[in-house]
Amino acid sequence: MPKTATNHKAELSKPTSEPLLPADSEDSALTVRLNRYLKPQDVAQVWDAYRYAFQAHDGVVRKTGEPYITHPVSVACILADLHMDVPTILAALLHDVVEDTLITTVDIKEKFGQQVAELVDGVTKLDKIEFQSASQAQAENFRKMLLAMSQDVRVILVKLADRLHNMQTLDAMRPDKQKLIAKETLDIYAPIANRLGLNAIYQALEDLSFQYLYPMRFNAISKAIMAARGNRKEVVSKILDSIKQQLSTFNIEAEISGREKHLYSVYRKMTSKATPFSQVYDIYGFRVVVKDLPTCYLALGALHALYKPIPSKFKDYIAIPKANGYQSLHTTLFGPFGTPIEVQIRSTEMHNIADAGVAAHWLYKASDAQLTALQQQTHQWLQRLLDIQSESADSLDFLEHLKIDLFPDEVYVFTPKGTILALPKRATAVDFAYAVHSDIGNSCVAVRINHELAPLRSELHNGDHVEIITGSLAKPNPAWLNYVITGRARAHIRHFLKSQQSTESANLGERMLNQALRALQVEPHQISETHWQRLIRDYDVKSKSEILTDIGLGKRQSVMVAHQLLALTDDHLEKHNNLLGMSLDTITIRGTEGMAVQFAPCCKPIPGDPILGFINKDKGLVIHTHDCPSVRKFKLDPDKWLDVEWEPESTRLFKTNLNLTVANQPGMLAKIASGIADAGSNIDNVSVEEADGSAYANLYFTVQVKNRIHLAELMRGLRKIPDVVRINRTKGNVATNGKGANGKAASQ
Q: Which helix (H) or strand (E) holds 725?
A: strand 724-730
Total number of residues shown for the chain:
748
According to DSSP, the residues that pair with 698 across neighbouring strands are 661
Q: Kindly state the DSSP code that residue 95 receives in the 8-state scheme.
A: T
Write the burial class of residue 721 (CB in 10 Å: 0-12 exposed, 13-18 middle, 19+ buried).
middle
Distance of CA 546 to the CA centre of its chain: 29
The vertex-292 CA angle with 287 and 297, nearest 5°, equals 65
Position 37, amino acid: Y
Residues with a catalytic annotation lie at 99-100
Residue 324 in contact with residue 196, Cβ under 8 Å? Answer: yes
Contact criterion met (CB below 8 Å) for 306 and 334: no
Residue 2 and residue 244 in contact, taking contact as beta carbons nearer than 8 Å: yes
Backbone phi, psi, residue 58, to 5°: -60, 130
Cβ–Cβ under 8 Å, residues 625 and 645 = no
| DSSP H helical ranges for 185-214 | 190-195, 199-213
d(CA 52, CA 669): 82
In order, the DSSP letters of 376-394 are HHHHHHHHHHHHHHHH-SS
Rounded to whole angstroms, the Cα distance separating 77 from 634 reads 65
Q: Which long-range contacts (CB under 8 A, 24 or more apart) does 714-720 make?
A: 714/676, 714/679, 714/681, 715/658, 717/675, 717/678, 717/679, 718/658, 718/660, 718/672, 718/675, 718/676, 718/679
Contact (Cβ atoms closer than 8 angstroms) between residue 398 and residue 142 = yes
